[in-house]
């Protein structure tokens, strides 16, 4: 699969924002979450289909910014996190079928 340069740029940008969130720095977590909301990440996970480099970057971003975060998690965000994990489960089931 050949990835277009625009998508490569986006993937690297998401990775860099994820790296900024490592270490439980609430300021950088807040800035990164403003750039890519949880809804945006979930939507892109759903439409990425078999573009695993993008999905890998989104999983890393979600983990470092939302899952391993310093802030409190609301009930609404917990539901979104469950949706995100369900998407990963479906992807794993698709991968096993291939």
pLDDT digits (tens, 9 = 90+) for 31-46: 999 999 999 999 999 9
CA 2 – CA 4 distance, rounded (Å): 6
> Residue 90: is its pLDDT beyond 90?
yes
CA 38 – CA 10 distance, rounded (Å): 16
CA 50 – CA 52 distance, rounded (Å): 6
Q: Is the CA virtual torsion 88, 46, 38, 60 positive or negative?
A: positive
> Residue 21: is its pLDDT beyond 90?
no
> Residue 4: is its pLDDT beyond 90?
no
> Residue 70: is its pLDDT beyond 80?
no
Task: Supply the pTM of this predicted model.
Answer: 0.89
Q: Where are the domains of the chain?
A: 5-97
């Amino acid at each position: 699969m050949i990835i277009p340069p625009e998508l490569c740029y986006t993937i690297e940008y998401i990775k860099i924002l994820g790296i900024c969130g490592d270490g439980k720095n609430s300021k950088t977590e807040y800035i990164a979450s403003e750039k890519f909301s949880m809804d945006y990440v979930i939507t892109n996970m759903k439409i990425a289909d078999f573009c695993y480099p993008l999905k890998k970057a989104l999983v890393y971003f979600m983990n470092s910014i939302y899952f391993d975060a310093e802030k409190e998690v609301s009930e609404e965000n917990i539901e979104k996190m469950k949706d995100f994990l369900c998407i990963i489960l479906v992807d794993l089931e698709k991968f096993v079928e291939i």
